[in-house]
Amino acid sequence: QITLKESGPTLVKPTQTLTLTCTFSGFSLSSSGVGVGWIRQPPGKALEWLALIYWDDDKRHSPSLKSRLTITKDTSKNQVVLTMTNMDPVDTATYYCAHTSIYGVLVRVFDYWGQGTLVTVSS
């Protein structure tokens, strides 16, 4: 059974750095083809893909946010960490992490999602 859960601050101030952790179980991020992605959703708006990290440490980022994003993994802890610098009120959103893969049947979609964590950016 695959589960993911996001954790981190619920409130950050403008210009601060946000650090979110995705803790997962039921799969290994050292298995070939496996990846974990981050997706966010501002209140009442659409989903926006942020970043992905794969089993081989290949990393992909949204071009519009690339300079602000860092994604890392700790395979031994079953965790993926996303940091976003210089937070702004427009970054207020629910942040999700999700499982994906590039091999097998369920390729290139997000088949398991965390419950999401709402991050508010306000002074």
Contact residues for other proteins, defined by CB under 8 A = 37, 39, 46-49, 52, 60-63, 96, 100, 105-111, 113-116
Closer residue to other proteins in complex, CB, 40/73: 40
Q: Shortest Cβ distance from residue 40 to other proteins (Å)?
A: 11
d(Cα 74, Cα 122) in Å, to the nearest integer?
30
Report DSSP state, residue 83.
E
Nearer to other proteins, 32 or 115 (CB): 115
Q: What's the first-to-final CA gap in the chain, in angstroms?
A: 40
To the nearest whole angstrom, how small is the minimum distance from the Cβ of residue 100 to other proteins? 8
Q: Collapsing DSSP states into helix, strand and coil, what is residue 62?
A: coil
**Tokens 């992490």 belong to which residue?**
97
DSSP states along 25-60: ESS-TTSTTEEEEEEEE-TTS--EEEEEEETT--EE
Q: Tokens standing for 69?
A: 């994003």
Tell me how far, at minimum, the Cβ of 73 lies from other proteins, in Å: 18
Nearer to other proteins, 67 or 76 (CB): 67
Shortest Å, Cβ 65 to other proteins: 9
Which CB atom, from 76 or from 104, has the smaller least distance to other proteins?
104
